[in-house]
Amino acid sequence: MNRIFVAISMLVFVGFQSCNTTTEKPEKQLSAPIGPKDLILKSDLMTPEVLWSMGRIGEIALSPDEKSVLFGLTYYDLEQNKGNSELYTIPTDGGAIVRITNTTFGEYNPRWRPDGKRIGFMSAESGSMQLWEMNPDGSNRVKISEVEGGLNGFCYAPDQTKIAFIADVKTNQTVADIYPDLPKSSGRVMNDLMYRHWDHWVDSYSHVFVADYNGETLLNSKDVLANEPYETPLAPFGGMEQITWTPDSKGVVYTCRKKTGKDYSFSTNSDIYLYEIASGKTKNLTEGMMGYDVAPVISPDGRFMAWESMEREGFEADKVRLMVMELKSRMRTNYTLKFDQDAHGLAWSDDSKSVYFISNWHALDQIYKLEMASNSIRKITDGIHDYTSVIPAGDRLIGTKMSMSMPTELFAINESDGNQTQLTYVNKQIFDQLALGKVEERWIETTDHKQMLTWVIYPPHFDATKKYPTLLYCQGGPQSTVSQFWSYRWNFQMMAANDYIIVAPNRRGLPGFGREWNEQISGDYGGQNMKDYLSAIDAVAKEPYVNSDKLGAVGASYGGFSVYWLAGNHNKRFKAFIAHDGMFNLESQYLETEEMWFADWDLGGPFWDKNNKIAQNSYANSPHKFVNKWDTPIMVVHSELDYRIVASQGMQAFNAAVIKGIPAEYLYFPDENHWVLKPQNGVLWQRRFYNWLDKWLK
């Protein structure tokens, strides 16, 4: 489950130009400023409506001449309860943003054609999501695909003769297929595990296709995984970064976990495969590597493949290694053997001698560079922020960056000195009117005498002579860092704007502090990490400006589990709790979730294995075991389409509180999953969140 909050933090997914028919009149070029330029705020404090009015930068792609960045930008309309993404360009050396689309259909997955003369993108303008092209100025917009059911992503072959795309393929029989005389039956028949995943029932799989491309339309598409019940990319977070072309355009490299049912449910063993166009043969490039192997990138000279790799099967929060393979000899090298950090978002230098990547250390995501010849790694950027992507662009790097005080923006980075120049100011008009809270880094001693980085966020217009209610933020994952992420739900500046101090500790079980710190939590739920939470809130509660009689604890996923556990073990510290999508009863959770590798690794195994001391310790620390000690008002949030932690977990917790006579509230969404993504649901979430806290802490 650590990928849950990685996804929340990593709001940007990078689109490289290689991968990674109706016409309409040429569109008029639209220039910056962009967004709600006439939005005048009623105060300088953030509100849910202001948060949802902000533009959100999405995928980015570098032009072949490295002079322009193409990117998507999404705005949400609360009244219509939906968002719309448009495409923009900006010079890599700075300058005016140019808007190149203006529709109500949305444009997604932008890519430069390899010759730079056209831009490809996906749009549902004709009903289903299809592939379109236009000139770099937005004119001459033409649909070039007619894929039944639509497609979900694409990338051009380097020689521009083919296009790879992903689309859903039905491979499982339904009741109607088995019994044609029962076409209206709603029943489902299951004979194995992994019948549903994250937020959907598994009736189809995403496959990669290769189609000929004549410069005007797609022809003769072929399913690389024809008739196979496997998926590529990996659900739910995988995208086109898991699929790429070889530089000679003779092969497609893709990520796949070729397992089904129970085997899939208990394994993280994905591999990287090479599909040869001419022969139709497929080779497993990472055979024998047992953990996650994902996100391949081929060097410009075609000699090497770099990818992200985990060593141990079943451990989804294992160290992410930067592996490089010499493709001719198949020799593999782990370049992060002595680097006690993860490596994400790999990108080759133009000369094929170096790899740039993103890595977290001490709750900050920075850009690093591996120089293969010297086997050395150098950090390029510094600062209180999170970089979420990096692309080499001639004499500079282009990156997307966020912080607890800034949504994602584009930056140009000077590699030699690390100097960073902001290129976009998407939400400047809004932030010019907002007062933000100070973000402070503290190191707090834990019960076992270690130092723990804790972020403390203060209200705007903070007055040290006053006493403020204070919130302990419990992170999810469980192995997801409390870094400088900007969230559109768990937003620290929003919490601060409601006149709360926030205490956000990087407790045991989070990456960025070495493998020992990260892995300690597995098999120790309710153990040292809970002591870390209490160390953090106890230390900050001693400050004269903290009202120690008005403390609350909030969190989602593993953070929700943490809140439930603290509710029975907090010794009167807290006066209010909020748990979102949390695990309440670990015994039922073991048999309700779908990704069994997580439950097996982190809980230690099934609850019926009485000889397994690790598992028995986990289940002994299940929050439902401590309900007899609950005495504090609690709000529970859960959603019906959350198949990771099912809605009955939240119902059990809420029902227990009501039965015990404890003030409680249950916020339920029938149409959301592990996140709350619809605009009006998001605003409702915020309103009830602060209504509950204000009721008990102010």
Determine the Cα–Cα distance for residues 602 and 584; give it in Å rounded to an integer. 15
Whether 557 is a known active-site residue: answer: yes
- 3-state secondary structure (DSSP) of residue 651: helix
Helices 613-620 and 596-603 meet at what angle, rounded to 10? 100
> How is residue 529 written in tokens?
């990490």
* The residue to which tokens 């007055």 are assigned: 463
Biggest distance spanned by C-alpha atoms of the chain: 75
Burial of 168 (0-12, 13-18, 19+ CB in 10 A): middle
Whether 77 is a known active-site residue: answer: no
CA dihedral (177, 180, 185, 190) positive or negative: negative
* The residue to which tokens 């980085």 are assigned: 453
Nearest to 360 by CA among 480, 490, 532, 509: 480
Beta bridge partners of 282: 275
Determine the Cα–Cα distance for residues 425 and 106; give it in Å rounded to an integer. 21
Whether 674 is a known active-site residue: answer: yes
Residue in 557, 562, 618, 639 annotated catalytic:
557
3-state secondary structure 96-165: CCEECCCCCCCCEEEEECCCCCCEEEEECCCCCCEEEEECCCCCCCEECCCCCCCCCEEEECCCCCEEEE
* Helix (H) or strand (E) run with residue 263 in it: helix 261-265
Burial of 671 (0-12, 13-18, 19+ CB in 10 A): exposed
Terminal alpha carbon distance of the chain? 34
Nearest to 402 by CA among 56, 643, 91: 56
- What DSSP designation does 644 have? S
CA distance to 327, 440, 676, 689, 691, per residue, from 684 (Å):
52, 29, 10, 8, 10
- Residue 520 neighbours by CB distance under 10 Å: 18
Burial of 22 (0-12, 13-18, 19+ CB in 10 A): exposed
Determine the Cα–Cα distance for residues 475 and 9; give it in Å rounded to an integer. 12
Residue in 207, 344, 385, 674 annotated catalytic:
674
CA distance to 71, 85, 103, per residue, from 121 (Å):
11, 11, 13
* Helix (H) or strand (E) run with residue 209 in it: strand 204-213
Nearest to 52 by CA among 585, 494, 562, 636: 494
Measure the CA dihedral 525/527/532/537, to 10°.
90
* Helix (H) or strand (E) run with residue 283 in it: strand 282-284
Beta bridge partners of 315: none
Determine the Cα–Cα distance for residues 137 and 465; give it in Å rounded to an integer. 56
Beta bridge partners of 31: 98
3-state secondary structure 336-403: CCCCCCCCEEEEECCCCCEEEEEEEECCEEEEEEEECCCCEEEECCCCCCEEEEEEEECCEEEEEEEE
Task: Please provide the DSSP assignment of 398-438 as one string.
Answer: EEEEEETTEEEEEEEE-TTT--EEE---TTHHHHTT-----
Residue in 271, 293, 532, 642 annotated catalytic:
642
Task: Please provide the DSSP assignment of 9-70 as one string.
Answer: H-------SS----B-PPPPPEES--S-TT---SSSS--HHHHHTS-EEEEEEE-TTSSEEE
By annotation, the residues acting in catalysis are 557, 642, 674
